Amino acid sequence: SKLLGIETSCDDTGCAIVDSDRNILGEYLQSQQQIHLDFGGIIPPVARDLHKQNIDNVVTQALQQAQVSLNDLDAIAVTVKPGLPLSLLVGMNYAKELSKKSLKPLIPIHHMEAHALTARLVDHNLQLPFLVLLLSGGHCLLAIVKKVNEFLLLGQSIDDAPGEALDKAARRLQLKNMKEFRNCCGGQAIEKAALKGDPRAIDLGTFMTNYKDCNFSYSGLKNAIRSQILKSEQKHELKGDEIIPEVFDLCASIQYAITKHICTRVQRAIEFINRTQLLPDTNRTLVVSGGVASNMFIRKHLNLVCEEENFKLIVPPPKLCTDNGIMIAWNGIEKFNEHIDIFSHLDLDKIDIQSKEPLGKNISQQ
Ligand code: ATP
Ligand code: FE
C-alpha cells in the first residue's frame, strides 16, 4: 500500500508519501523555526498562518518528488492530536479536502504514537511489543508499545519537557546572539556549546531521586539554571544583553544533568520491566525518538545504560526524530495494514482534532 501523510501539529509543515515496503517515495518539510526563534517562541495564530501559506506547496512538492498522483494512493493520514489546535486544524482540513477530492479514505494519527512507531520504518526487524522513550519539545514519556494502537504508559513528565527546558535555557543564555548558534534551535545550540565546556563544572542537582516511579521532572533543573545565570550575571556585573563567561561550562552541565535524569528514569523502567516481565526476553529493545533524541550526548549515555541492561537501543536518524510528514505516513501504513481507524470520505465529520490526548493507558489504570 501507498500513503500520503500530513503533519502540522506544531511549527513544521510536513508531507510525505511512503509505501508498505518502507520506501520514502517523496517528502517535503517546511520549518517555521527561524520565524519563531525571532519571536522568542511560537505564537499560535502566526504558526497557523504559515501552515496555511505553505501547506499546498509542501504537499505538491512531496507528490511531485514521489511521481505519484492522488489516484495512486490507498489512503491519506493526518495528525489530529495532540498539538496546537490552530495548527492541527490546518492540516486536518487540508487532508479532508484531499480525501473528498480523491475519494480516498482518511486515517487520523496521534503525533506521539507516530514518533514511537517511526522506528519500525527504520528497522524492519523491530517487533512489538517494545519500550519507547519519547523526548521532545512538548513531551517526555516512557511507554510500552503493545500494538499499533495500544500503548501502556509507564511514566511521563510531571511538569516541563526536556526540549522546552533546553529551549528556555538557550534563550536565557542568549545563545542565538552568538553567530555560531544563530540558526540552531535551543537543543542544537546547547549540544554544540556543550562540546566546548566541562559537564562537571557546575552542579545543577539531581531530580526525583526519591521517587520509585518512572516519571520525569524538569522544573527543578529549570530553576537551578535560572539562578546559576543570575548568580553569574551579578558576579561579573553584566548588563542584560551580555553573555556570561561560563556559558560553555553551563551548557555542558545542563546537558549532563538532563542526560543523568533521563538515564536514571530509564533504568527504573527497565527494573520495573524485569520485575513484572512486561516485555518478553526476546523483545528487550528501547526505542528513543522525539526531537531531543537527536542529541548525541544523550544517545551515547542511553547506549551505555542499554548495554548494561542487555537492551538493544534503536534511535532513528535525527531527521526522523524531529517532526516530519514521513512518520505520519508510516503510522498511516501501520494502521491501514491492520484496518485500524480508516474513515471513508463520506465519514469525515467523525474526525476532529484534540489538543490534548494521553498516549495510551496508564500502568496504574490497567
Ligand atoms: P512534541 O513532539 O512534543 O509535540 P515538538 O514537536 O516541538 O514537540 P520535536 O520536533 O519532536 O518536538 O522536537 C523539538 C525539540 O527538540 C526542541 O525543543 C529542540 O530544542 C529539541 N532538539 C532538537 N535538536 C536537539 C539536539 N540536538 N539536542 C537536544 N535537543 C534538541
Ligand atoms: Fe513532535
220: CA distance to ligand 2 center in Å?
A: 23
Report the distance separating Cα 179 and Cα 201, nearest Å: 24
Q: Is 156 in the pocket of ligand 1 (CB under 6 A)?
A: no
Q: Is the C-beta atom of 32 inside 6 A of ligand 1?
A: no
Dihedral sign computed on CA atoms, order 287, 119, 92, 58: positive
The residue contributing the CA closest to ligand 1 atom 1 is 138
Q: Residue for cell digits 501552515?
A: 51
pTM here? Answer: 0.94
Q: What's the residue count for the chain?
A: 366
- Ligand 1 centroid, distance to 8 Cα (angstroms): 15
- Which ligand lies nearest to the CA atom of residue 289 in the structure? 1
**CB of 14 shorter than 6 A to ligand 1:** no
* DSSP bridge partners of 216: 157
Angle at 246 between CA 243 and CA 252, to 5 degrees: 115
ipTM (interface predicted TM): 0.98
pLDDT tens-digit profile, the chain (366 residues): 999 999 999 999 999 999 999 999 999 999 998 888 778 788 999 999 999 999 999 999 999 999 999 999 999 999 999 999 999 999 999 999 999 999 999 999 999 999 999 999 999 999 999 999 999 999 999 999 999 999 999 999 999 999 999 999 999 999 989 999 988 999 999 999 999 999 999 999 888 887 788 999 999 999 999 999 999 999 999 887 889 999 999 999 999 999 999 999 999 999 999 999 999 999 999 999 999 999 999 999 999 999 999 999 999 999 999 999 999 999 999 999 999 999 999 999 999 999 999 898 777 654
* Integer Cα distance of 309 and 300 in angstroms: 15
- The answer to whether the CB of 186 is under 6 A from ligand 1 is yes
Does residue 292's CB lie within 6 angstroms of at least one atom of ligand 1?
Answer: yes
